[in-house]
Structure 1
Amino acid sequence: MSPMALRSLNLPGVGTKYEFETDKGDTVAIFFTKAGTIQMYTLQKGCHTPSAAEMTPVEARRLGNILTGAIIEADQESVEIAFSALADLRVTIHSYIIPRAIAGKTIEDLGIRAKTGTTVIAVSRNDKNIINPPPSFVFETGDAVLVIGESDQLRLFEREIMVD
């Protein structure tokens, strides 16, 4: 196999194997098993025993994000993402529950973007999701909202908008 050429092989009853060789002669193989796990094998040039790791789909996506430079750090209600191609950019997405004090007001009434620099990217209400709600969207008590911005912008959002 030539370096960096990707080869795939369907293994009946097992799953699908993808394999490539690096420029230095190391081999990387990924198996997507019928059981739903992902197995990754690496074999260094000149070695006879591969190293292996078995991952869940979530773990495999995390590894993919790391390898592509989309680093994700999560806590309970927020996710911070750093992109290697945009060296200094760290974006945070945080979820909030709308308090009674701002129910009945629109995104525009609250001046969310103008006051804080953040953007409401989704709202969940009664098991329905509204993606990219318009400025005229009216909040109701208990709405779950996703807000995106830099960490300091989200702190400002919490101080200026999420008052109870």
Structure 2
Amino acid sequence: MSVVRESDLIGIGKKYQIETEAGDNMVVVIHDDGRRELYRRDDEDNDTQCVMTLSDEESRQIAGILGGLSYKPKALETIEVALDDLRIEWYKIDVSDDWANRSIGDLAVRQKTGASIIAAIREDETVINPGPDYVIATGVTLVIAGKAKNIKLLKEILL
């Protein structure tokens, strides 16, 4: 079983030290600005080196990949059948999006696409399960859930 240790980094964010079942040691630093740094720690000389730095959006995409949201190994196909086709994607609203500053209800997102907006994230504010009155503003990142075809349809409508 893996071991995870969490600690606060005052003025920086949080640090997670992970020891995997395979014996690997990893450190993840989540900065308050959303940036993530991944480090590999070698026990032999206690040397820690940065492997990569990721933006918030890149981190979420990788989390989805690692979590099996876009590909499910054959061995896991029988687990959680109810979530068989479920996808979760993040989509940041750009200034050029014609439908920005319209409400979810005006766009009839769920009725037209079958996909659901399950969260809206803007800087330090997260709205979980925004209702039909929620206005989608420029700069907001939408968390969209649904089957792949429904999310694709929603993106076509939004673009």
The interval holding the TM-score normalised by the smaller chain is 0.5 to 0.7
Matched AA of 1:36: Q
> After TM superposition, what 4+ stretches of structure 1 lie above 2 angstroms from structure 2?
30-40, 52-58, 78-83
Question: For the structure 1 residues 131 and 90, does the alpha-carbon distance in structure 2 shift closer, same or farther, using more than 3 Å as the test?
Answer: same
What TM-score do you get using the length of structure 2 for normalisation?
0.55
Matched AA of 1:122: A
Q: How many residues align?
A: 107
What TM-score do you get using the length of structure 1 for normalisation?
0.53
Q: Which of residues 3, 10, 19 is equivalent to 1:38? A: 19
Matched AA of 2:91: Y
Long gaps (5+) in structure 1 = 1-29, 41-51, 59-71
For residues 1-164 of structure 1, the aligned pairs below 5 Å read 30=1, 32=3, 36-40=17-21, 52-54=22-24, 56=26, 74=65, 79-80=69-70, 84-86=79-81, 89-99=84-94, 100-160=97-157, 162-163=158-159
CA contact (8 A) 1:80 1:90 kept: no
1:73 Cα deviation from its structure 2 partner: 5.4
CA contact (8 A) 2:102 2:136 kept: yes
Long gaps (5+) in structure 2 = 6-15, 29-62
Structure number with bigger Rg? 1
Matched AA of 1:80: S
What is the CA–CA distance in structure 2 between the aligned matches of 1:33 and 1:113, rounded to whole Å?
38
Question: For the structure 1 residues 140 and 91, does the alpha-carbon distance in structure 2 shift closer, same or farther, using more than 3 Å as the test?
Answer: same
1:37 Cα deviation from its structure 2 partner: 2.9
What is the CA–CA distance in structure 1 between the aligned matches of 2:140 and 2:83, rounded to whole Å?
32
CA contact (8 A) 2:64 2:88 kept: no
1:31 Cα deviation from its structure 2 partner: 5.9
